[in-house]
Structure 1
Amino acid sequence: MPLILIAMLVLVTAASAQHPVEGKSAYHDAFFLDPHLREAVMPMHPPALVSTAFPHKELQERIDVISYDIKLDWYYALTTPSVLRGQRKATGHVHARIRSMVNGLDTLVLDAIALTVDSVFVGGERVPFSGSVTVLRIPLPVAVAADDTIDVDVHYAIRTSDRAFYAFSQEDANQLSLPHPIAFTFNEPEDARRWLPCHDVPSDKALFTVDVRVPAGLTVVSNGTPQRTLSDGDTASWQSWHHPLPMPTYLFAVNASDYVSYDQVYRRMFGGEVPIYNYHWGMDDNGVFFNARNALRNIPRMFEAFEDKYGEYPFPTYGHVTVAPIQFGGMEHQSMSTINRRWLMGDVETGYAHELAHQWFGDMVTCETWGDIWLNEGGASFSEAVWLGFSEGPEGYRRLLADRRNVYMRNGLAEPPVYDIPMATLFNEATTYCKSGWVYHMMRRMVGDNAFFPAIRIYLQRHRLSTAQTADLLETMQGRIPSAVVPWETFFDQWLVKAGHPVFVADAVQNWLADGQYVTIVTVAQTQQADNVPNPFIVPLTIRLYGQGQTKDTTVLMSTSNFQVDIASAFVIDSVQLDPDDDLLCEKTVNTVSSVEGDDAVATATLRLTGSHPVEHGMPAQFVVEGAAVTLQVVDAMGRQVFAHDAVPGIVTVPTSTMVPGLYVARLVSSKSEPVSTVTFIVR
């Protein structure tokens, strides 16, 4: 039977311590089919590395919080200048219902920093407790069995108002040229514990209700919807909010100021609607400098763009609450994003798109560990490009990704890997945002829209209102798209576990064949060299030839550090471009483009035998023609021609079933019947 834990805060020791890809076929459709190319891909990155890179981490959590019911008194903080406040900036009381995840749970440990704990109750009975710099320890009167629940109450005071919990009285606001007093919270990644004793990890989702006392005239804003407002004399009121769906502590937020509300609605094409509530200061509603109505005008259209790609918006309502002063831009608090007042100037529309997209990537499906933060931030950063693709077309999508690429490339090869990034650099813009967004883009380009977006929707629905690890996305991609050009284990390994990106350097030489036909020999090298950076990256690489108003694309699977491909065309080239549609996060340079004409081109041709030798009778002999040639001839030991074939660069197969076992000579000859290159081989 459940116990009831009630805790009130005693000092928990003060520790304040392009085009875009819509409609583009999958790479499979254009893949350069060459059995030797495919053979060269194996074994890719060692399977053993991948199998240990993304194990599904088994979390060793001892508790699971089911719900938090929180009461906060912010009246003092909002009416007293910060320089005059005592140690107790604000007070709180949290009632938490907690499930034991282990047998014999005898001590409850909650995260708590810079809090003064007044008292703790378990099951309505006052109990002793102890604190350290980072946690509150509550010995339980009776050990709790696995899956049993306990109710805990903690009464406490918040000892800081300049981190996690921010409070500015009217006097403070005047000094900052702000119109009204304001208080707000900001938790990500692990700062909820600075104003709320809690289980402060992203894997633990709970229900939240909050009731806040504020000066009369101020409005409280939190996740979900307002429930009731009760006057407390003439000078204060209690205002409560509730969100009906679970969330981790870092997505919970409370705000209070003299807000007005500008309401919008997103109406789905096939019925249903989502109310959108936007809170800001009255002077900013339709002002000249800050203008919420202008800045927010496209929010309903963003819903349309994202529901088309990711499925139905997961929460009953959405909204924005504006705060200042703050150093961040926006934060995806579940169903009620916090935004910087600066965004009301109307020139940061992709920021709004980012926070809305987080409602799918981060809120509906939350990274289970901070090592998986790229799932959240990469999905939202990629969605900025999705929004611009929807609102502006292909060039908008491509421009956003180019901007992100430029930020990443400032340090490029020196940046850390995306996966399991250290907490100290968790919000590294170049890696956690820019490169992670490109990883989503590269998955999209590798398999095409018709495969990518359905797989993403399945991943989101499979982990709906829960959490996911990188291994879960990998598993979904493997299950839904098992035949990706680059196996998913390899893709995730090189782009997430490893650091860096490919650096391509190419040269191109065009040879004239005959009758207006040309062959361009493109040599590509991967030159990246740095710690933990793959060489080679295994990637599909598109090569585009330009000339005489024409283009020709060839896509090859590059699986070695150096690679050569011969591309036939009916026009003289004047330039060559690698990865012309920006499918890859890479650096790319084409050093030289030159041409050789007529028999000068033929003179550069070479021939070599590939495969087993001697050649077994009846099995085909295979030759690689490099450069250019007019004809491949095979003659026997008596000089009699037994085979002739017009040759172009690539693999030429010669049947041996009609040949008598013995010695043969294969030779390339020019249009003047002059031998250019010869190979002797045996049929046995």
Structure 2
Amino acid sequence: MKTFTVITAAALCVTIIGIGDMMARPRPERVGLPASNIGIPWDDPCSHDDSLHIYDITHYDIHVDVDLASQLIYGDVSIRCYSTDNSLDEILLELKSLTVDTVEVDGIETVFDYHSDSLFVPLPAPLPEGDSVLVRVIYHGHPQHETWGGFWFQSQRAYTLGDGLYVYPPPYNHTWFPNWRHPADKSTADLWFTVPEDKVAASNGELIEIIENIPQQTVTYHWKQHEPISSYLYCVAVADYLILEDTYYDWIESYIYPSHQSQALVSLSNVHLMMDAYQDLFGSYPFQGKFGYAMTGGGDMEHAGLVAHVSSAVNGLHNFDWLLAHEMSHMWWGDMVTCGTWKDLWLNEGFATYCEALFHEHAYGEESYRNYVWNSLMSVYFNSYELFPIYDPVQLWTETVYEKGGCVMHMLRHVLGDSLFFTGWNEYGDRYRWDTAISEEFQEVMEEISSQDLDWFFDEWIYGPGYPRYNYSWHASPSGGDWEVFLWVDQIQTSGGPFTMPIDFAVISSVDTVIQTVWVDSDPFETSFISGLNEPVSLEFDYHNWVLETHIEIPSAVPEVSTVPLVYSLHPAYPNPFNSSTVIRYSVPNRCRIALSVFNVLGQKVVTLAEGSVSAGEHSVRWDGKDAFGNDVSSGLYLIGMNTPGYQQVNKVILLR
């Protein structure tokens, strides 16, 4: 048997870090990639070819010899296929740019047709529904990769990444073994990898045996994937690995480069906290065998039981804990339950992105959770400028699928409450365990558990574009010994909606803070509520940031009749010129809709300061010299434009930095 080094680190699982080190971060799939190439329009040709796929693959026996010196692979793969239709007379497999040497059907060599990355294997006779056939493919060649996915040779090492960023559909495992790439085709597997004797071959599932091939100076690793998974989740990573064992969970082991041993002891020392969180939330780790990370030249990728973890993230710091947590959570959401189509990718990636925040909540508390949602989900999405729907997105690997998808789970939790939300989520996991699911099925489970119709929520947030942008105004008046708050809300977004959402308002007095949840379910929206005995001095919109939204307060008084202005007017900004902020006052003689915006000298809108319905009277709004996304604008001349039905006015203002 081959021997290898195991590092059992007593210090591995004890370091706890400051929250600020793990906040804003780029998506792993987009690290180092040109932004212009990230999202390209896509289609799902596999779904169009489903009529050709009238069989079910249940098991692979995968034998691959990895020749690091020549950068070639030699494969021998047997595939157990069950017919799902009495007309099945041909097996179609996908295999990219390799040389097919021999094909057998039930042990008998047969002719085949291999072109355009498709391998057509005729059957001797139509296979009745429910019967099976064993297809064996022997092949070799230099496997392909794209910017992200495929099979990579690097510096006497090799690894695979199951998804491609620039191929559609994204699975790219057909670059090293024949399979059917649709995520709905799940299977088990035995995997044998033969590598040079000084290397380790890590793969999915449980390590069954290590066989020394003494004359050839090679070693064969036999891994067994017990649970059915989608083909893009199979993997191999070959290197001169050391194996790092976790001291809290002896079945967590990570494969690290010898040069990164000291860094790994730190960077991986919080992995047990992540496993604690997800097992508490979602039940026991679902796979037999190990869980771990394998250092690779690129990554990250949630291969079942063995995450490909980019080596640059093993840096002796904790600034990639979010990435470790994200990929670990995929073992439940993405691997155990997999999106049924790529249109439903948010069920994988949105869930895992939200799980980053759940890890923070479990390990560091509620405030850390809220900060993470705001800084690393909501703000990241806002800065993407994306407004297309989550379902069937025009681009896959984007903030809409990841961060907005995570925000949807955050908001659904607020709508349902913790008990119903987590009960429903776990029921979804149990019902579709080792299977695939689509968005409608997730909605059905959540409706069943909550006894609520959630069409309104999914129509807004999954199938519709954008997010709500609110203008609001309020005032408070004494009411029978209490104080009554009067509230006006307008939605000003140009994409999507109008949105119905429960909004938490914090009514703040000099004595206390009262939280009032208001269902804002129309546009425009008006309501009032009793806030208590103490006079309100301020009102905080969307307390604790439960809703993916932006809002602007439009200061509003309730003037006496004698103080109502007779004409519309946009008053000069003061101060002008200004440095940090300036106040813009405007007057309206009756309740009306208004748009008050800042433009640069090219006529481009910089930010909207007020938009929607305002009451008659004098109003003011402050501009802090930032654009719509919170970025400081440069010094110069700007135009303040006021637009109401029948009246427009423009004033100038100068910003000096």
Q: Where on the TM-score scale, by shorter chain, does this alignment land: which range?
A: 0.7 to 0.9
What is the aligned partner in structure 2 of residue 572 from structure 1? 535
Structure 1 residue 344 corresponds to structure 2 residue 314: yes
Which segment is superposed worse, 390-399 or 215-224? 390-399
Give the structure 1 partner of residue 360 of structure 2: 388
Correspondence for 2:628:
none
Is 1:214 aligned to 2:186, yes or no? no
Per the alignment, residue 409 of structure 1 pairs with 382
* Match in the other structure for 1:139: 122
User: For 2:162 and 2:273, how far apart are their aligned partners in 1?
Assistant: 29
> Which is higher, the Rg of structure 1 or of structure 2?
1
Aligned equivalent of 2:279, options 285, 289, 307:
307
Question: Using the alignment, how far apart are the partners of 1:151 and 1:552 within structure 2?
Answer: 68
Question: Cα distance, 1:161 vs. partner?
Answer: 4.5
The 2-side partners of 1:368 and 1:399 are apart by: 32
Determine the C-alpha separation between the residues in 1 that align with 2:145 and 2:57. Answer: 27
Deviations 1:619-664 (A, max 9, x none): xxxxxxxxxxxxxxxxxxxxxxxxxxxxxxxxxxxxxxxxxxxxxx
- AA paired with 2:258? G
Supply the distance in 1 between the matched residues of 2:69 and 2:79 (Cα, whole angstroms): 29
- Selected match of 2:235 from 237, 253, 265: 253
* Deviation sequence 1:234-278 (CA, Å, 0-9, x none): 5322222111111111111011110010112556xxxxxx61111
Give the SS at the match of 1:363: coil
Q: Does 1:193 align with 2:187?
A: no
SS of 2:255's equivalent in the other structure is: strand
Shift of 1:399: 1.6
Residues 166 and 575 from structure 1, CA distance in 2 versus in 1: closer, same or farther, beyond 3 angstroms? same
Mean Cα displacement is larger for which, 337-346 or 504-513? Answer: 504-513
SS in 2 for 1:79: coil
Counterpart for residue 72 of structure 1: 64
- What do the CA deviations read for 1:267-307 (whole angstroms, capped 9, x no partner)? 6xxxxxx6111111122122xxxx11211112222222112
Runs of 4+ in 1 over 6 A off after TM superposition: 56-59, 601-604
Distance in 1, matches of 2:462 and 2:159, equals: 35
Matched, 1:333 2:298: no
Alpha-carbon separation, structure 1, partners of 2:451 and 2:381: 30
* Cα offset, 1:465, TM superposition: 1.4
Matched letter for residue 340 of structure 1: V
Cα distance in 1 between the residues matched to 2:491 and 2:290? 46
Q: Which runs of 5+ in 1 are unaligned?
A: 1-55, 174-180, 268-273, 605-684
Confirm whether residue 398 of structure 1 aligns to residue 365 of structure 2.
Answer: no
Q: Offset of 1:421 from its aligned partner? A: 2.1
Match of 2:123, SS?
A: strand
Q: Which amino acid aligns with 1:226?
A: L
Q: Distance in 2 between matches of 1:225 and 1:553?
A: 51
Query: What corresponds to 1:451 in structure 2?
Result: 420
Q: Distance in 2 between matches of 1:317 and 1:437?
A: 29
For residues 124 and 252 of structure 1, the distance between their equivalents in structure 2, rounded to whole angstroms, comes to 25
**Cα distance, 1:416–1:374 mapped onto 2, change above 3 Å:** same
Give the deviation of 1:451 after TM superposition.
1.2
The Cα offsets for residues 383-436 of structure 1, whole Å up to 9 and x where unpaired, read as 110100111111211121112111111244x432111224xx2211x1111000
Q: Which amino acid aligns with 2:486?
A: I
**Which of 492, 512, 516 does residue 458 from structure 2 map onto?**
492
Q: State the AA in 2 paired with 1:69.
A: D
Q: CA deviation at 1:183?
A: 0.3
Structure-2 separation of matches of 1:602 and 1:147: 85
TM-score between both structures, scaled by the size of structure 1: 0.70
Which deviations, in whole Å up to 9, do the C-alpha atoms of 1:181-239 show, x marking residues without a partner? 21011112310112111111110111111111211210000001222222332532222
Amino acid at match of 1:499: P
User: Structure 2: which 5+ runs fail to align?
Assistant: 1-46, 164-169, 565-657
**Distance of 2:333 and 2:384 partners within structure 1:** 26
* Aligned counterpart, 2:330: 358
Residue matched to 1:295: 267
Q: 1:593 to 1:389 in 2, by over 3 A?
A: farther
Q: In the alignment, does 2:565 pair up with 1:583?
A: no
Q: Does 1:149 align with 2:132?
A: yes
Alignment partner of 2:186 out of 193, 205, 209? 205
- On the 8 A contact 1:576/1:593 being kept in 2, the answer is no
Note the C-alpha offset of 1:319: 2.9
| Separation (CA, whole Å) in 1 of partners of 2:223 and 2:234 | 11
CA offsets, 1:569-618, max 9 Å, x none?
Answer: 4333332221112111111111215477xxx69999xxxxxxxxxxxxxx
**Aligned in 2, Cα 1:263/1:562: closer, same or farther, shift over 3 Å?**
same
Aligned counterpart in structure 2 of residue 523 of structure 1, from 488, 491, 511: 488
2:218 aligns to what?
236
The amino acid that maps onto 1:139 is P
Distance 1:131 1:57 in 2: 20
Inter-partner Cα distance in structure 2 for 1:447 and 1:58: 39
| 1:591-630 aligned within 5 A | 591-592=554-555, 594=557
- Counterparts of 1:312 and 1:240 in 2: how far apart (Å)? 25
- Aligned partner of 1:123 in structure 2 is 106
Q: TM (normalized to structure 2)? A: 0.73
For residues 68-125 of structure 1, the C-alpha deviation after alignment (integer angstroms, 9 at most, x for no partner) is: 10111112xx123xxxx6xxx3221111111111112111111122121111111111
Residue 461 in structure 1 maps to residue 430 in structure 2? yes
2:463 paired with 1:537? no
CA contact (8 A) 2:160 2:235 kept: yes
C-alpha separation in 2, matches of 1:468 and 1:509: 47
> For residues 38-72 of structure 1, what are the alpha-carbon distances to aligned partners after superposition, in whole Å with 9 as ceiling and x for unaligned?
xxxxxxxxxxxxxxxxxx99975411101110111
For 1:278, the equivalent position in structure 2 comes to: 254
How many residue pairs are counted as aligned between the two chains? Answer: 505
Instruction: Give, as a single letter, the amino acid of the residue that structure 2 aligns with 1:282.
Output: P
For 2:259, the aligned partner's letter is M
**Shift in alpha-carbon separation, 1:58–1:471, aligned structure 2, 3 A:** farther
